[in-house]
Structures are given as structure tokens and as C-alpha cells.
Amino acid sequence: MAARKLRIKDVIAGRIVSDDDSKNSLVTNFGESREVRVCGTVVSKFISDDENYGNLVLDDGSESIQLKFWRSDVDTVRRFEAGDFTDVLANVREYNDEKYLQPVQLFKRDVHGWIRFHLDVALSIKGLVEEGSWSEAQDMGSLHDVEEQLDEYDEMEKNFAPSNDDSFEEDSIVFDDDDINRTVMDAMGKDPMSKEEIIKKTMLDEIDVMLSIKELLENGDIFEIDGKYKRL
């Protein structure tokens, strides 16, 4: 199950389930996934006096959630400061009826990366609403709300776009999370390709490609040759 791009609000409203191997997954309107991705702003950080525990509080405008770290992972907290845009791949955990994230990987983003991430989420929600498969029971918004959000993100991107011709193009981000692995696989020809070549051919976000390659390698769908990747 691929990691889902979600709003923090969706993580909080989701339901944690365990399979026969006692591995947790999160069930939301987007489906079921073992790992999730959220992108928000660090609003606070904490490290205990004994330095065996630390956390970052991440807020994306829909909700906030704690990222928790223990022992050697606490060093990660030091790399982040309040105000950092942060893209997180994580497992969802729950303690005392409160959900938190146990990060697998963290990436610092700029404002363009933040906007692109949330445009992807908003477009996914819009598609689910139009298909009639979006449940309002968890108060996750309507199609009208999503269309307003798309307009808002589009306007933000224009305001932050660089002055050259390298500005944002929507075609570069309209990929459902379930399609990313297929897009990366389809981009691969007979010859091995580098990560940079895959990014250029697919027009996908660098982090999306990086995580897709990781998952495809783990699944045995591709293999690595001298830093390049090839389909089996």
C-alpha cells in the first residue's frame, strides 16, 4: 500500500486498524495505507532533558499533530526549526486516544513544494467527491470547499512564482498517489535511468520519485545498477 498524501485533518479523523501481523494501517476516505505523507509547518519543537525523547508539532492549516522521536532519532529534531515547511513520511500511532506520527523520513520544503503538495491532496479529494466515494461523515469538506481551496492554492502559486518561465505548471502535479508508481514504471525504457532522468521524463516531484523508487525496489519491481534503475 503506497503512502497517501493527506491533510493532517484526515489523519486525525482516520481509523487505525491492525492486520494479522499486528501491523497498523490508517483507513480514511482515501483508502487504507500503512504509511502516510503530510506536509505542514513546524510550529514548535521539544527535546527532553535526558535527550531520549523529542517532538515536533506540525500544522498544515487543517489541524496539527505531533511527530515523536526516541533515543538516537532525537537528533533529527535539532535539524528543524519553527517555520520550516516539512514533508513527512510516517507511520500513524495512537496513545491515550490521541494520534501522532512516527516519522520514517522527513524533507524540508520551500513554499512551492508546500503548495504543490496540498494541490495534489485537493485534486484527489475533488476526484473522490465527483465519483461519489467521499464520505461527509467525518466532516472532511465538500466539493465546493475543495474548488475554493484549488483557487486559493493556484493564486498563492502565482504570487510566489519565480519571474522566469520556470513557474508552476498544473500538469506537473496532477498525479493521483496510486498512479505515481505506474508513472515511474512506464517512464523506464530498456536502458537504466537515473533519478534525475525519471523526474525529467515524468514531470513528477523529486520526493514523489524518490519515495516511488524506494517502494518499487522494496517490492522487487525494479532493480538498481550503478545508481540507475531498471524494470525487471
Nearest to 73 by CA among 95, 101, 52, 49: 52
> Could you tell me the residue range of the domain that residue 217 belongs to?
175-231
Please tell me whether residues 104 and 185 are part of one structural domain: no
Q: Tens of pLDDT along the chain (232 residues)?
A: 568 899 999 999 999 998 766 678 899 988 888 899 999 999 999 999 999 999 999 999 999 999 999 999 999 999 999 999 999 999 999 999 899 999 999 999 998 889 889 988 888 888 888 888 777 554 455 566 667 766 776 666 666 554 444 433 333 344 555 578 888 988 998 889 999 999 999 888 888 888 888 888 988 899 999 999 998 8
Please tell me whether residues 145 and 185 are part of one structural domain: no
CATH number at residue 207: 1.10.10.10
| The pLDDT of residue 22 | 64
Strand positions, DSSP E, the chain: 4-5, 15-18, 24-28, 31-33, 35-47, 53-59, 64-70, 85-95, 98-109, 222-225, 228-231
Please tell me whether residues 102 and 160 are part of one structural domain: no
